[in-house]
Amino acid sequence: MEPPTPPRRVTIVDVARHARVSTTAVSKVLRNAYGASPEMRAKVRRAIDELGYRPLAAARGLRGQTYTIGVMLPDIRNPFFPEIVDGITGRLADTDYQVFLGPGGCNDEQTEARITEAMIDRGMDGIILIAPVSARSRLEHIAATVPTVVVGRHGHSPVYDTVTDDDVTGAALVVDHLVGLGHRRIAHIEHHETDPTRIVEMPNAQRADGYRRAMQAHGLADEIDIVSTVYTQQGGHEGARQLLARPQRPTAIFAGADIVAMGVLDALAEAGLSVPDDISVAGYDNTTFASFGPISLTSVDQAGREIGSNAVRLLLERIAERQKTSVQIKLSPTLVARRTTARVSG
């Protein structure tokens, strides 16, 4: 058991004294800055190791960087986000940067504000916002204060970079796949959105749009059937129930997210319908849920890891050059066909 009063922390002054150099010199070595000879570097590094010195990020933050990057997640429960986080940490593993996740409060503007403010107040060097719901002006305000990358939200701004997946194409992949299996009555469950900006920028809206356009492209404009609920399991359950109540039942349901598809499967099981014999189901995100054997959900894969990795790259670039023109990266999704979709029966 250690002494209950923590021993005073080793500071840069201790290192300087131990190495018989100035604190300035130590600081230079730490930051690989100009003005230190190789011998000096070696001497200082030895002292650092001997004393077990680690710079105090809080003190650094007061002057310059904190070597900390904040990631705001809207919802830890969504099994798609870990992929993105993996991509982020993976790319940051061999840098001095450390990532911290801000626990999101499920798509609530106020919680988002609290978290982003907390990140700014803690002097984070850059932040990555994953599928934020806040107003555009709010995002730009954040980006004006600290280097920012927005992930999973379409619509670009001159002050922040974005990384998105092409949701329109993704939705089309699903429709193409289902049409290829002979389906015509393909319904879609979307996340209800009222805010005009979000209708343009949020991925869920883009998916609905992609669905619409793909249906039209296949000459199925009359069959377009969209139910608006929310992107949760309950939302999927509710949406499926509404669709089953239609005079003519759809032969396939395209849920806007895997979690929604979970709710759909649940509702179909309750209704005594079998998948895919009676009805086909597809999701979006290719989460572990989807790949899980007994479920085996057809889904769209977003390459979350690449999304995260790209977000970090852009962020580091922007930290290095604050004023650079903003970049938009759009990645292409792929379809993973599994056992919940099949050739239409009858």
Partner DNA sequence: CACCCGATGGGAAACGTTACCCGTCAGCGG
Partner DNA sequence: CCGCTGACGGGTAACGTTTCCCATCGGGTG
Residues that bind a second copy (CB under 8 A): 1-4, 6, 54-59, 61-62, 66, 68, 70, 76-77, 79, 81-82, 85, 89, 98-103, 105, 114-115, 117-118, 121-123, 140-141, 143-146, 157-159, 233, 262, 265-266, 269-270, 288-289, 292-295, 322-323
- What 8-state DSSP symbol labels residue 324? P
Residue among 56 and 220 whose Cβ is closer to a second copy: 56
Question: Does an H or E element contain 315, and which?
Answer: helix 304-320
The entry of a second copy, DNA, none near residue 157 (CB within 5 to 8 angstroms by kind) is a second copy
First to last CA, the chain: 73
Min separation Cβ 311 and DNA, Å: 25
Among 42, 64, 100, 345, contact with DNA (rule: CB under 7 A): 64
DSSP secondary structure, 158-218, as one string: SSSEEEEE-HHHHHHHHHHHHHHTT---EEEEEE----HHHHHHSHHHHHHHHHHHHHHHT
Min separation Cβ 119 and DNA, Å: 15
Select the span of 21-29, 129-137, 170-178, 280-288 touching DNA (CB under 7 A).
21-29
Select the span of 20-28, 104-112, 275-283, 296-304 touching DNA (CB under 7 A).
20-28
Q: What angle do CA 146, 151, 156 make, to 5 degrees?
A: 75
- Cβ neighbours of residue 277 closer than 8 Å, sequence gap 6 or more: 342, 345
For residue 322, state whether it binds DNA (rule: CB under 7 A).
no
Going by C-alpha positions, the residue among 157, 158, 102, 110 that lies closest to residue 130 is 102
Min separation Cβ 98 and a second copy, Å: 4
Cα separation, 205 vs 189, whole angstroms: 11
Dihedral Cα 98, 75, 194, 264, nearest 10 deg? 140
Distances in Å between the Cα of 42 and the Cα atoms of 19, 30, 324 are 10, 11, 36
Contact 84, 151 (CB under 8 A): yes
For residue 342, state whether it binds DNA (rule: CB under 7 A).
no
The entry of DNA, a second copy, none near residue 8 (CB within 5 to 8 angstroms by kind) is DNA
For residue 62, state whether it binds DNA (rule: CB under 7 A).
yes
What per-residue string of b and e applies to 81-117 under the rule 16 or more CB within 10 Å gives b?
bbbbbebbbebbeeeebebebbebeebeeebbeebbe
Residue among 9 and 20 whose Cβ is closer to a second copy: 9
Min separation Cβ 207 and a second copy, Å: 22
Structure tokens at 329: 């990266």
Residue among 304 and 333 whose Cβ is closer to a second copy: 304
The entry of DNA, a second copy, none near residue 327 (CB within 5 to 8 angstroms by kind) is none
Distances in Å between the Cα of 220 and the Cα atoms of 2, 107, 181, 261 are 72, 33, 14, 22
Cα separation, 135 vs 295, whole angstroms: 37
Residue among 89 and 310 whose Cβ is closer to a second copy: 89
Ranges within 28-47 binding DNA (CB under 7 A): 28, 30-31, 33-37, 39-40
Residue among 206 and 229 whose Cβ is closer to a second copy: 229
Residue among 90 and 219 whose Cβ is closer to a second copy: 90
Going by C-alpha positions, the residue among 207, 110, 91 that lies closest to residue 149 is 91
Among 2, 4, 9, 248, contact with DNA (rule: CB under 7 A): 9
The entry of a second copy, DNA, none near residue 37 (CB within 5 to 8 angstroms by kind) is DNA
The entry of a second copy, DNA, none near residue 140 (CB within 5 to 8 angstroms by kind) is a second copy
Binding site for DNA (CB under 7 A): 8-9, 11-13, 20-28, 30-31, 33-37, 39-40, 53, 55-56, 59-60, 62-64
